[in-house]
């Protein structure tokens, strides 16, 4: 059973749990399971806790997973002094009578969308947001998901013309922004879809926008800093339902450290099914900012051999901590955890769970699972309720029966108090984010567009996937990108400001906007054809070493090169049409 699922088995039997489930057959469902959204063989669903074990054991169920936290991929930011007026002259063409709305919907799942910012208004001063689903707000208007509030364009347009837009609508994008640094979602969206009224005009500047604000939320009784995997998949469902028959590009600048990194989490399988089964659909993801996070270790373990990995903790860390080990299903590895002075605090043989006792109390657990059903890999998940007083633990892995021997260790992301591996144990490869490993979604790394060498940013995560596929596939600019800044908590009306932020979060929306340009020209392309065009538009880099290559994918995307390819394709299609007639 999934470790996180074991944590929620006990509790109020009448409580309704939100879960992800993979079916053996896409049209046969387990009993006592309410389907909310579906992507091929993966569904999001609601199950009463009293029925959890029966659904888990049902013949229709292949895999059942509890929600996983999905944080945003940001790096740093600084407020800029950019003059708004300087941009207004540059983009006067936007208000011409030739203004034409794009047929391609731009979808985004993030947090903090400033619907009042003029960069998201059309030539006539109307909002380009068709809908914003704010997931963490009280359930006020009826929707099939059973939570959150959905705001539509007429409501937002009325709010924009009011004296206090945020109060009028009942949604303030910057309610958690005390220092005026701007919310992540507004900035990411501005890079791709700014109309050019304040900031530089995005390539998706006329696209209608459908946004999902994950915000902070409660998941099965636990207070989490951001949204979770179930809400993410239901957000995808919401965007695609709103898009209807129209082409759609979705940006996800989200992710964490831990997972199997083979693209076989239920989130990734669902995302892959979404783009594979629906034409003219693209999902672009940030690869993560984890190259220097000291979050990954890889090794080869032989029979009878032991490896020690040092796990370090911050002095002030109020949060729980987590570390995972993934290894091949044919192998058998024992995990032991020691204090820094050599005292054993927990031991897990294959495939037995074990409690952890340290600082004179039970403070954690080791879950040890055989052949996780989606990957076939064995999985060790160690969860600590608090950091040890010594601030250092030793994870010892012992090889029993070993045929392959490769194993990967990941420390989970924790924005409240990040624990790390000791420098001697760190491997910077295989550090791509937890949910961007699917075969058909497009993972984007960041490069420094301000340097002559155009090197990957020092923080930008490196591939490959554990099953040795290229990720990230492409690089895009990610150094101090200037785009829309949302109003802060203390502003009652939009400020229309700008801010510079760095990260793979800032690179992904640029690639998403390139996908919009492809679909504007060719609105019926499959994901395979779209990927081919994007990868052909890359300028390859001369790599300094293997890690540099693993950060770079197929190279840096070039809009000029893409335009040339699109013109070529258009001429080829026109030639075929003439021959046909």
pLDDT in tens, 442-487: 999 999 999 989 999 999 999 999 999 999 999 999 999 999 999 9
Rounded to an integer, the average pLDDT of 223-233 is 76
* Best CA proximity match to 383, nearest among 319, 427, 473: 319
CA 281/CA 531 separation, integer angstroms: 11
Q: Inform me whether the pLDDT recorded for 87 exceeds 50.
A: no
pLDDT of the residue at 180: 86
In which element (H, E) is residue 476 found?
Answer: strand 474-477
CA 353/CA 367 separation, integer angstroms: 5
CA 38/CA 15 separation, integer angstroms: 22
Rounded to an integer, the average pLDDT of 512-526 is 97
Beta bridge partners of 440: none
pLDDT, tens digit, for every residue of 129-142?
A: 999 999 998 888 88
pLDDT of the residue at 97: 46
Beta bridge partners of 348: 335
pLDDT band at 90 (very low <50, low <70, confident <90, very high): very low
94-98, 232-236, 255-259 — which one is most confidently predicted on average? 232-236
Rounded to an integer, the average pLDDT of 107-128 is 96
Q: For residue 542, what are the contacts with CB-CB under 8 A and spacing of at least 6?
A: none
Rounded to an integer, the average pLDDT of 269-276 is 98
CA 408/CA 377 separation, integer angstroms: 11
pLDDT, tens digit, for every residue of 287-323?
A: 999 999 999 999 999 999 999 999 999 988 888 899 9
* Residue spans in the chain of domains classed CATH 2.60.120.1290: 296-425
Rounded to an integer, the average pLDDT of 408-427 is 94
pLDDT of the residue at 67: 92
Chain CA centroid to CA 61, Å: 26
Q: Does domain 76-290+434-568 have CATH number 3.30.1280.10?
A: no
- Helices marked H in 312-356 — which ranges? none
pLDDT band at 579 (very low <50, low <70, confident <90, very high): low
pLDDT of the residue at 413: 92
Q: pLDDT higher for 218 or 506?
A: 506
CA 56/CA 65 separation, integer angstroms: 9
pLDDT, tens digit, for every residue of 170-201?
A: 999 998 888 888 999 999 999 999 999 999 99
CA 36/CA 129 separation, integer angstroms: 24
CA 179/CA 415 separation, integer angstroms: 18
**Structure-block tokens of residue 436:** 């961007």
Chain CA centroid to CA 67, Å: 14
Edge-to-edge order in the sheet of strand 333-339: 344-348, 333-339, 392-399, 306-312, 420-421
* Residue spans in the chain of domains classed CATH 3.40.50.200: 76-290+434-568
In this structure, the strands spanning 42-48 and 16-23 are antiparallel
Residue 464 preceded by cis peptide, ω within 30? yes
Residue carrying structure tokens 């937890």: 434
pLDDT of the residue at 581: 57
Q: Inform me whether the pLDDT recorded for 392 exceeds 60.
A: yes
pLDDT band at 98 (very low <50, low <70, confident <90, very high): low
pLDDT of the residue at 85: 39
- Helices marked H in 143-250 — which ranges? 153-160, 165-169, 184-193, 229-243
CB 471 within 8 A of CB 215: no
**Structure-block tokens of residue 107:** 């979808």
pLDDT, tens digit, for every residue of 27-78?
A: 999 999 999 999 999 999 999 999 999 999 999 999 999 998 888 776 664 4
SS3 434: coil
| CATH fold for the domain made of 296-425 | Jelly Rolls (2.60.120)
SS3 270: helix
CA 501/CA 486 separation, integer angstroms: 13
Edge-to-edge order in the sheet of strand 61-65: 34-39, 42-48, 16-23, 61-65
Q: For residue 579, what are the contacts with CB-CB under 8 A and spacing of at least 6?
A: none
Rounded to an integer, the average pLDDT of 104-116 is 97
Q: Inform me whether the pLDDT recorded for 100 exceeds 70.
A: yes
Mean pLDDT taken over the chain? 92
pLDDT of the residue at 362: 87
């Amino acid at each position: 059973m999934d470790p996180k699922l074991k944590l929620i088995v006990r509790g109020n039997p009448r409580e309704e749990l939100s879960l992800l489930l993979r079916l053996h057959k896409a049209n046969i469902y387990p009993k006592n399971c309410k389907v909310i959204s579906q992507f091929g063989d993966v569904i999001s669903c609601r199950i009463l806790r009293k029925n959890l074990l029966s659904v888990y054991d049902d013949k229709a169920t292949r895999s059942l997973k509890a929600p996983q936290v999905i944080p945003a991929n940001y790096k740093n930011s600084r407020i800029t002094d950019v003059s708004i007026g300087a941009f207004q002259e540059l983009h006067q063409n936007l208000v011409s009578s030739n203004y034409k709305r794009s047929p391609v919907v731009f979808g985004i799942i993030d947090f903090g969308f400033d619907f009042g910012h003029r960069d998201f208004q059309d030539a006539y001063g109307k909002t380009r947001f068709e809908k914003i689903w704010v997931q963490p707000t009280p359930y006020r208007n009826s929707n099939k998901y059973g939570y959150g509030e959905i705001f539509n364009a007429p409501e937002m347009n009325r709010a924009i013309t009011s004296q206090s837009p945020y109060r009028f609508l009942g949604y303030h994008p910057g309610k958690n922004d005390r220092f005026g640094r701007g919310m992540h979602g507004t900035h990411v969206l501005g890079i791709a879809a700014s109309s050019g009224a304040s900031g530089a005009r995005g390539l998706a500047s006329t696209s209608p926008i459908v946004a999902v604000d994950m915000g902070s939320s409660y998941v099965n009784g636990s207070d989490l800093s951001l949204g979770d995997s179930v809400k993410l998949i239901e957000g995808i469902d919401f965007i695609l339902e709103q898009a209807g028959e129209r082409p759609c590009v979705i940006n996800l600048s989200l992710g964490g450290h831990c997972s199997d990194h083979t693209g076989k989490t239920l989130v990734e399988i669902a995302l892959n099914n979404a783009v594979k089964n629906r034409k003219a659909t693209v999902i672009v993801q940030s690869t993560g900012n984890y190259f220097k996070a000291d979050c990954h270790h890889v090794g080869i373990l032989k029979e009878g051999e032991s490896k020690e990995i040092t796990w370090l903790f911050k002095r002030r860390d109020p949060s729980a901590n987590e570390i995972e080990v993934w290894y091949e299903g044919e192998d058998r590895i024992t995990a032991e955890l020691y204090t820094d002075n050599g005292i054993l605090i927990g031991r897990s043989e294959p495939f037995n769970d074990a409690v952890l006792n340290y600082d004179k109390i039970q403070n954690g657990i080791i879950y040890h699972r055989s052949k996780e059903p989606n990957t076939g890999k064995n999985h060790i998940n160690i969860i600590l309720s608090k950091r040890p007083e010594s601030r250092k633990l030793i994870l010892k892995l012992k090889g029993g029966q070993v045929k392959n021997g490769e194993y990967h260790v990941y420390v989970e992301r924790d924005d409240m108090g990040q624990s790390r591996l000791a420098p001697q144990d760190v491997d910077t490869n295989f550090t791509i984010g937890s949910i961007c490993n699917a075969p058909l979604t497009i993972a984007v790394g960041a490069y420094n567009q301000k340097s002559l060498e155009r090197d990957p940013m020092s923080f930008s995560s490196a591939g490959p996937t554990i099953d040795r596929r290229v990720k990230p596939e492409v690089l895009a600019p990610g150094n101090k990108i200037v785009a829309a800044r949302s109003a802060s908590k203390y502003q009652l009306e939009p400020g229309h400001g700008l801010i510079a932020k760095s990260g793979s979060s800032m690179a992904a929306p640029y690639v998403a906007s390139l996908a919009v340009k492809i679909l504007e020209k060719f609105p019926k392309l499959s994901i395979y054809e779209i990927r081919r065009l994007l990868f052909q538009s890359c300028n390859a880099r001369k790599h300094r070493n293997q890690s540099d290559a693993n950060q770079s994918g197929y190279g840096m995307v070039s809009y000029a090169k893409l335009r040339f390819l699109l013109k070529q394709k258009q001429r080829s299609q026109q030639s075929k049409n003439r021959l046909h007639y």
